Amino acid sequence: MLKGIEDITSYFIELDALKLINRRTYIDAGVRLENSAEHSWHLAMACWSMARCLEIKVSEEKLLKLALVHDLGEIDAGDTFLYSKDRSTAHAAERNCVKRLENHAGNGISELSALWEEQESGTSLETRLLKTVDRLLPFLHNLSSNGKTWRELKIKKSQVLMAHAFIADDFPEIHTWMLEQIQVAVKQAWLIDA
């Protein structure tokens, strides 16, 4: 029998729990909520494609690893909604979860915590692209669902502007496009004009 296979397969089941974490983002034009595993896959693919489309010189391997680990901490901590009033405790709970997963006997990825920490607080081009696309995807889902999450949770234009303001520094073209879409969302009453 393969040495350690019980630990390895146990770890795989631990990772699979990310599929159980529902986000507040509706997918398929508002049919159902996205889970965090789906979001992580979508983020990895979108970052990879964005880097190539915009000819951004990044380490694709690093970018994909960052995308895959970025929400692992939600397995224990759950999803923290972008527009939540109190997001301060989420990072500590997520960090503890990632450390727990890194220390699991079946984990073969020794740099799991280091990658997670980098996507949380790093300033590399890979991290900046990841953070931009991580905000862009739920934004797109809101547009495709006629602002379903925004409308349900009474999200204001000012909240969306504040949450996406950092994008202007690194990717001004993306930010300009998002500003145009925010105006459309306000006109459609998907966002509260405040």
Closest to 143 in 3D by CA, of 84, 186, 193? 186
Q: What is the average per-residue pLDDT within 130-150?
A: 97
Q: What is the average per-residue pLDDT within 84-102?
A: 88
Predicted pLDDT at 138: 97
Average pLDDT, the chain: 95
Q: How far apart are CA 63 and CA 30, in angstroms?
A: 28
Tens of pLDDT, residues 51-81? 999 999 999 999 999 999 999 999 999 998 8
Which residues, 6+ apart, have CB-to-CB distance to 159 below 8 Å? 83
Other beta carbons within 10 angstroms of residue 6's beta carbon come to 12
Predicted pLDDT at 86: 72
pLDDT band at 1 (very low <50, low <70, confident <90, very high): low
Q: How far apart are CA 34 and CA 60, in angstroms?
A: 25
Tens of pLDDT, residues 9-35? 999 999 999 999 999 999 999 899 999
- For residue 164 the two structure tokens come to 């996406």
pLDDT band at 87 (very low <50, low <70, confident <90, very high): low
Q: How far apart are CA 136 and CA 52, in angstroms?
A: 17
pLDDT at 3 over 80: no
Q: What is the average per-residue pLDDT within 131-142?
A: 98
pLDDT at 129 over 90: yes
Closest to 146 in 3D by CA, of 189, 193, 84? 189
- In degrees and rounded to multiples of 5, residue 25 shows phi and psi of -100, 125
pLDDT at 165 over 60: yes
**Domains contained in the chain, CATH given:** 5-187 (1.10.3210.10)
pLDDT at 112 over 70: yes
Other beta carbons within 10 angstroms of residue 9's beta carbon come to 12
Contact 133, 43 (CB under 8 A): yes
